[in-house]
């Protein structure tokens, strides 16, 4: 079994990581997981639907119809929702691992899913062996990282723990979510140049033209127009490969 990750911050990034931890602690003090991010709010339903839609579409395009036999790491795993979803998609419980920066979140993750692997970590280093995973995922991690240097370090670590031919699934907003930097664009291509296998900017909800798919003739005529009129991208999904 890989060595569990630790929270030993790289000294060069320690102050930045402390700020990220403080921000997430504020989110939980404000109770956002029970209000704004509660699972039944319309926006959260839209986000979760789009995440599954893009994840399955990209993995299917890479020749996968399930996650059986894949060793998976989720960075910023929170309470483990995505890891439990991966098990539903065929991954074995012993093959899924989660790392998060917040101790309280991980405590809940372990209570909810005691059979899964969770560990504290901050991304400046991933305390796991080289080439130990077939799939690494993240959801909203990079937009929370203030400096380009730490974002590049995290991207490098994600690639390091991937086996040859393995994949990264990226899901994030289109700009930084850091106070004072929300106008700074965030683009996966800047961090993984030459490694993008698929990329899509998506809106919060599926495009209206999706409702026309059963009407094939009508769909071909109206779908492009409907999507251009209503599509307002606010998220970026990507599949990244390691040669």
pLDDT tens across the length of the chain (243 residues): 444 445 555 777 999 999 999 988 888 888 888 898 899 999 999 999 999 999 999 999 999 999 999 999 999 999 999 999 999 999 999 999 999 999 999 999 999 999 999 999 998 999 999 999 999 999 999 999 999 999 999 999 999 999 999 999 999 999 999 988 999 999 999 999 999 999 999 987 665 555 555 555 555 555 555 555 555 789 999 999 997
- 201 touches 193 (CB < 8 A): no
Spatial strand order in the sheet of 117-120: 117-120, 96-100, 72-75, 133-139, 162-173, 235-241, 196-202
Give me the domains of the chain, ranges plus CATH numbers: 11-204+234-241 (3.40.50.150)
The separation between the first and the last C-alpha atoms of the chain, rounded to the nearest angstrom, is 24
Task: Name the pTM for this structure.
Answer: 0.87
CB 137 within 8 A of CB 82: yes
């Amino acid at each position: 079994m890989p060595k569990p990750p630790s929270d030993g911050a790289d000294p060069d990034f320690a102050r930045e990581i402390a700020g990220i931890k403080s921000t997430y602690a504020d989110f939980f003090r404000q109770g956002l997981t029970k209000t704004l991010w509660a699972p039944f709010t319309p926006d959260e339903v839209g986000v979760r639907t789009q995440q599954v839609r893009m994840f399955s579409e990209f993995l299917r395009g890479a020749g996968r119809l399930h996650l059986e036999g894949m060793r998976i790491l989720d960075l910023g795993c929170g309470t483990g929702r995505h890891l439990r979803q991966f098990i539903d998609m065929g991954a074995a419980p012993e093959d899924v691992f989660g790392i998060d920066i917040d101790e309280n979140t991980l405590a809940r993750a372990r209570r909810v899913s005691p059979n899964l692997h969770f560990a504290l970590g901050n991304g400046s280093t991933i305390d796991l062996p080289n080439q130990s995973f077939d799939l690494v995922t993240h959801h909203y991690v990079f937009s929370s990282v203030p400096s380009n240097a730490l974002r590049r370090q995290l991207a490098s670590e994600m690639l390091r723990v991937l086996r040859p031919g393995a994949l990264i699934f990226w899901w994030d907003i289109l700009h930084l979510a850091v106070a004072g930097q929300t106008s700074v664009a965030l683009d996966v291509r800047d961090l993984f140049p030459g490694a993008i296998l698929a990329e899509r900017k998506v809106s919060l909800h599926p495009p209206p033209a999706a409702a026309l798919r059963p009407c094939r003739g009508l769909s071909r005529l109206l779908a492009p127009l409907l999507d251009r009129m209503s599509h307002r991208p606010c998220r970026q999904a990507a599949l990244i490969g390691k040669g």
